[in-house]
Structure 1
Amino acid sequence: MASFGEIAAKAEENPEVLAATPAPAATEGDAPTEEESTAEFTPVVALEEVEVKTGEEDEETLFEIRAKLFVFGETLLDKGTGTKSWRERGVGTVKLLKHREFGKIRTLMRQDKTMKIIVNHVVDPRIKLEPNAGSDRSWVWSAFDFSDGELVETVFALRFGDSDKANSFKTAFGDAQKEMEAELAGEDAGDQGAGDEAAEALEGLKTGEKEEEGEKE
């Protein structure tokens, strides 16, 4: 068999010789032997499945629709200057949620991907949805929002895919306002009834005191 040196020498004289020479075949000693691992690894810490709660478990979804949210306020660069402008807060699903026990209805919207809450306020019957700059697919309103953990009066604008979707949101929002108005009226009536009962009890107590005084005389 010709040595590598002889092949190289011939290749210099005739390059076709090197091209026709196959690469050396791999032998058993060239590659490391792979052994099948039988070891078993046990995690140092056993992770328990954690139930993630959204805070919506006790609420019924009355309406939901996708939209893009804008907020009118100061940007980070304009903080403290009083200069306000519209800034986009994100795209997501806006919901009208009714608490099963207390009957309160709120507007909730989470940003896609991050699931950050960007709208969270009670559906106040006094809120008015106004067209945004004459658009037929966008509404503007003001509310006391609790998205960041404290009540802040905020001006919102929601933009929908088309006018039909925008109108469906306005209709659902108006229906929710009527429910809230009836709920609040019921609470006021209950408070008034409780007040009347307390007044009657107090009057009865005074009458009883007078009767006791008369008996003593």
Structure 2
Amino acid sequence: MTDTSVEIQNNKDHKDDVENEHEEHDPYFEPIIHLPEVHIYSMEEDEEDLVKLRAKLYRYDTTEDPHQWKDRGTGEIKILCHLKQNTARVLMRRDRTWKICANHYITPVMELKPNCDSDRAWIWSVPADFADETPKPELLAVRFASAENAKLFKDAFEEAQRILEQNRNLPGDQGTSDESDNEVVEESDKEDEKENEKENSESKVESEVIDKLRELQVVDAGGKTG
């Protein structure tokens, strides 16, 4: 073997040793500052997802002439139901930025209508949407990738309305109303009793004063009792 071959082989062996050393070396550095774990709350913890689908949202802009539909955002649209508070809402956030582009309550009078006779899109009117923090009425339209997803959204929307109606008509709610009425009546009776006690007390004091006056004997200068 020539000197050149020996040198090449030595260089190769050295290179392999260096690579193996780098592969085996896995240093760990203790962090200088320990940061506490931060919990981020989405304000959806107490709500139940009835549906969660990807879609594209539009809003009808009436500030321009002529009026036109404008892209509101693409992302995941949800229907959330809060059973304790008996509320349901539509919530949608844009992809990447997570900025809210739809956030409004569902009411029993809302109605989803096909948009331009499409089986993948719905249109509905909202009396107050909180996407921009300031509530304002909106005319919204949503378009899904398939007719199946559009149907799932409509079914969940109507299910939320059914839950709201069902919980509103529960006997417990009526009982609560009756209890409130009874409390009002009881408070009124208590006020009447207090008023009667006050009148009786005043009458008693007045009678005592009259009796005391009758017991008094006033003697005039002539020695007569008046």
TM-score (norm 1): 0.68
How many Å separate the matches in 1 of 2:198 and 2:48? 58
Structure 1 position 65 matched with structure 2 position 48: no
What does residue range 160-171 of structure 1 map to in structure 2 within 5 Å? 160-171=144-155
| More displaced 10-residue stretch of structure 1: 140-149 or 90-99 | 90-99
What does residue range 128-207 of structure 1 map to in structure 2 within 5 Å? 128-143=111-126, 144-185=128-169, 189=174, 192-207=177-192
Tell me which amino acid in the other structure corresponds to 1:124.
T
| More displaced 10-residue stretch of structure 1: 174-183 or 188-197 | 188-197
Larger Rg over CA atoms: 2
Per-residue displacement from partner, 1:13-58 (whole Å, max 9, x unpaired)? xxxxxxxxxxxx9xxxxxxxx9x9xx99776654443222222122
**Match for residue 110 of structure 2?**
127
1:93 to 76, 81, 103: 76
Q: Which runs of 5+ in 2 are unaligned?
A: 1-6, 8-17, 204-226
8 Å contact from structure 2 (residues 51, 152) kept in 1: no
RMSD of the TM alignment (CA)? 3.3
Tell me which amino acid in the other structure corresponds to 1:91.
T
What does residue range 33-72 of structure 1 map to in structure 2 within 5 Å? 45-72=33-60
Q: How many pairs are equivalent?
A: 183
Query: How far apart are 1:136 and its partner, in Å?
Result: 1.6
Query: How far apart are 1:121 and its partner, in Å?
Result: 0.8
SS in 1 for 2:53: strand
Identity of aligned residues (%): 34
Q: Which has the higher helix share?
A: 2
Q: Which runs of 5+ in 1 are unaligned?
A: 1-24, 26-33, 75-79
How many Å separate the matches in 2 of 1:83 and 1:198? 57
SS in 2 for 1:113: coil
TM-score (norm 2): 0.66
